[in-house]
Structure 1
Amino acid sequence: MLTFLRSAAGTFIAKILLGLLILSFAIWGVTGASFNLSGNTIASVGSSEIKVIDFQREFLGEINRMSEQFGQRITPQQALQFGIDRQVLSRMINQATLDDRARVYGMGVSHDKISAEILNDPTFTGADGKFDPSRYQWLLQNAGMSETTFLKSQKNTYLRQQVIDTFIAGVPVPKVLESAIARHFNEERTVDYIEIDIRDIAPVTAPDDATLQSFFEREKATYRAPEYRSLTLLPISAKDFGGTGDVSDEEVRAIYEQNKARYIVPETRKIRRISFDTPQKARAASDKIKAGQTFDALVSEIGLTAEDVDLGTLRRDQMIDRKLADAAFALPLQTASDVIDGDFTRAIVYVDAINGGETRSLDVVADEIRQDIAAEKNNQKLVERYDAIEDARAAGNTFAEIAEKFSLKLMTIKDVSETGSLLAGGELDVSTPGRDRLLQDAFRTDVGVENDVIEVNRNGFVWFEVTEIKPSRDRLLEEVKATVTEDWIRLEIQKTVDARAETLLKELQSGKSLETMASELGRAVSQASGIKRNQPVDGLSGAAVQQIFQGPTGHKASAPGDLPNQAFLIVVKDVAAGATVLPKEQADNLRTSLQNDLIETYITQTRETVGTSINAGALEQATNLDGSSRNQ
């Protein structure tokens, strides 16, 4: 849960550059490392300190995250062997470095700003898509984090991004570098090729029993029966608490009056705009309109098209230029403005249509409000039911006792594998509560173990227990003989096709033409042009595209296909230099890489300048969670 909340916590400012802070810059052996810190402080950078309790929370969170990733519980001792403690400390030192700079630079962010971002964070929305206070408090509670701590973490993250933005904003990419990379990726090649497939080899028939048995023994693990587990589920959902029947008209009316602004339909206007590069041209155009010329006639006279001047139908807040927005939304219908000296352009605007601007009546929105109120009530009941079930579990009640106490229905799943296949045939129903997470967690526990609850679609929970385990086992050949035979034939065909392609390649390299080979095989030579690195090409495999760039003009190669029983013979016919400008996505990636380099350099140099101290004794004590020694 803590891992989930942390991943959600940074959503509203999770710019890609902040991802760099999870990397582990070298901190061991830094100049200024010292033991002159208090016992509850692990490290400091300038005036920023990293407390033992904060480090332990991050360290345990990282252990939990990696345990989920590897599918088994990582012990604190294993975490030390993996170097997780140093990775976490490195990340926290990098963050502390930015915290120190934010303090020195006098940066700040208002409480209202942080609160507004949290209210809009999808992590905390309920089933109705709106901020759910109950869900917010539940997530904080289960993460073991107070609201004060959470708000502080959000504030720090925001301030760190501000520090980063001060020195990476507007950083240009060197033209020489961009040009060299662009030439590499934009180089285009033309090739001739022929496809080699099952038509070019002798028929492959089923093997004799000895060959099949030998193949089966080598590949026995492939045909091994999976482990199957039987489960009992205890699901609850907000839907269990009914519809909108317990919402009174008075409640609906009260919510409507309290939130009337929500039901105002924003005014939109269909707007056209003519921009001018000089005040004289703008004034002359305005005078013509005042003298009676229509806006359409003016557009034609200037030589513009309808698309040139059409801004579309917009709300006021959708117009970037505030001066143009103010003027356009003050105009009467089908009226042109005077000349507007906007923030970005000098223009005349015209309003073709005005829509909205009225308040939706209670009668119109009553059902919507009733559903919102019911959803909020049901979510509150869900949280209360969750707490009651957790209390019952803590008191030692069985699933059957809990189900009887709260009138719930238990679900049973008989013999399911980790991938969701059932021993009886078919797949576990996709509507099973928390299906994917359930399968993952069910195969990371054991019979008799009390397991963590699984949240389902933000409006429900499911508890589960493993009731039976059928271990994985080796199957006998007789059980899977048909499948094994099919696999042997398939692999033998592919092996034979590949061997045929290699034989033909040697002939090609010895001077035989591709056209002659194609004629002998009874097919035509195909050609592909405009091929670029790492880009798919219709008719060619990814391996073939890679081979095309392994040599100059005249390069000859073979490559496996993407389809079974397929290979290619290739001859590079032409190499053409590409454009020296990168596409936007690649240019953005290059810029991000350079910015990350700048961030790393900045943090490293700042640590050295302001001084970094590490309390090795406190670090060892903070990571000795299971009483083991770091030196064992």
Structure 2
Amino acid sequence: MIQIFRRFFSSKLGLAITLAFLGLIALAFASMDVSGNATFSGVSGGDRVAVVGDQKVGTADLANRTTSALDRLRQDDPTLSMKAFVEQGGLEEVLDQLISRYAVGNYAQEHGLRAGDNLVNSEILKISAFLGADGNFSQDAYRQVLAQQGLTDAMVRGDLRDSLLQQQMIDPAVSGVRLPTKIAKHYAALLRERRKGAIALVPSAAFAPKDDPTDEQLKAFYDENRARYIRPERRTIRYASFGIGSLDESVEPTEAEIAARFKRDASEYAAKETRTLTQLIVPTQDAANTLRDRIAAGASMETVAREAGFSTTSIGPVSQSDYEDSSSAAVAKSVFEAERGAIAAPARSGLGWHIVRIDKIDRTPAKTLAQVSGDIRTALLEEKRIAALADLSARVEEQIDEGAPMSEVAEQLGVKVSTTPALTADGRVYGQPGQGVPPELSGTVETAFQMREGEPQLAEVVRGQTFLIFEVGEITPSASAPLSDIKDQVIAAWRLSEGSRLAREAADRIIGRLGGDEPVATLAASVRQEEKPLPPAENVDLTREQLAAAQNGQVPAPLALLFSMAEGTSKRLEAPNDLGWFLVDLDEISVGELADDDPIVASAKRQLEATATQEYSDQLVAAMRDELGVERNDSAIQAVRKQLTGEN
């Protein structure tokens, strides 16, 4: 997981020293001070975790940025806890990035580089979150975003100023990095490199003790490996849903209400007539009369229009009022007085004289109250339900705001309060990965993991139909599982750990035989000489290209080791989770020839230049840190760690 975190802080130019400003805008949390009375460089240093040159790195800054980094990672893994993040080195990673950022800014200022207010203002104007409805910078939007994120104008400007100084210091130093094609060709040839060897596994299970550990042994092993058994935070959610059945009065429409609605919408139920038309517009009345006479004599309207240099337009179906809006009252009157198939008498609008053919007439008779009573009843019922539920939900929300307990509100509504099993932040039942929350709660889990106990909230599940009251029931913080709960699991892990120690000794014996006084010819033969039956060695014959293609870029650790060893050597590699030891024996390396114009050379050149750019950037930042001097305040760092993990 921490590798994901490290990749998050990398940019294409290798600016691993910066925590991006936009990330701060999106994820910053309100500042929190960490008190302490330790002394640091002769001064009370509880408010700083480090000093870079003469600039303090505050405890609040470190806490805020660590929280922001965790929030970014939680987008991919909602169950990741702060304790697990810190245990995996996240806090140290953030601190290192923060120190580097301060170093670059401080170094830039010492050497006369500046990022003035006008430059900072221009950067603020570019940030889309600060734009108003008209697309321009909005002071109100700026204040609102800062208030939502717990930021101040000074904090925003400080971050932008640092980012601008970093650009001035780093970009010129690492731009234009180029490597000779000869070097690129040398490394590109490695992609066509073929390696032959063998890989074997010495499993810990083959050497694991059968007996249980003593209580002292088990306790010591558990204490040393407590981080393995960290459980995510779990919460139960108490909830109750209500809808139309919770209303205390009927919302069925009365006959009087139906009649009133029919009267209100009388125009909707009146007789209607729409027409489909073909229209030609000319500039003068004489031209209109001449063309109309030709059409009336049997000529095609489209042909007449084309010969006169005009074109026709199809319209409709359209009512008289709508057609009048797009032409004029005179044109609409003439058109709607003509019969189907006729050419209406030319009339004038602001566009010119209209020659219109009536292609089709659709007439809808008026509807009576009896005919539309059912439709009106259905529409009124839906409206009254929505209004009544809105009033009810408003009353419920008012009760909640006034501090009424959820059980009391549910009792008044006549609904049952249910409680979920313990849930993790990704909406799954803890201990049952295949089981999730009820569908009506799917949108509330994220909110529930930000709430406090006993503070119910109201949510609309199905718009206008169903509402939900929910609150956090029991909160179980992220922590290592008690030994008593996972004793069998820890015993199994202890056995593998003990077996791993003995498996390592066996691995050393096997490798020793390959290069001893009486060397064994192959890894497979050496494995067979062990007293315990072990899995046989497997031969490997691959090129780097084949390896990458077969594994989709995810290369197993033993194969990665095989392709990084010297020819004729043998090494051992520990398998994860005490599963055993891999033995890797490399017999032969062969490299093919590459043409200068092989596309793989150009690709390798680009990759090497990017790597060189990153390396130059890292070296430059390291040099700045060395010149300015960095002092760490371990007691303050420990205080931040305890604050974030809840150990205070």
For the aligned pair, the TM-score class normalised by the smaller chain equals 0.3 to 0.5
TM-score w.r.t. length of structure 2:
0.40
Structure with greater Cα Rg: 2
TM-score w.r.t. length of structure 1:
0.41
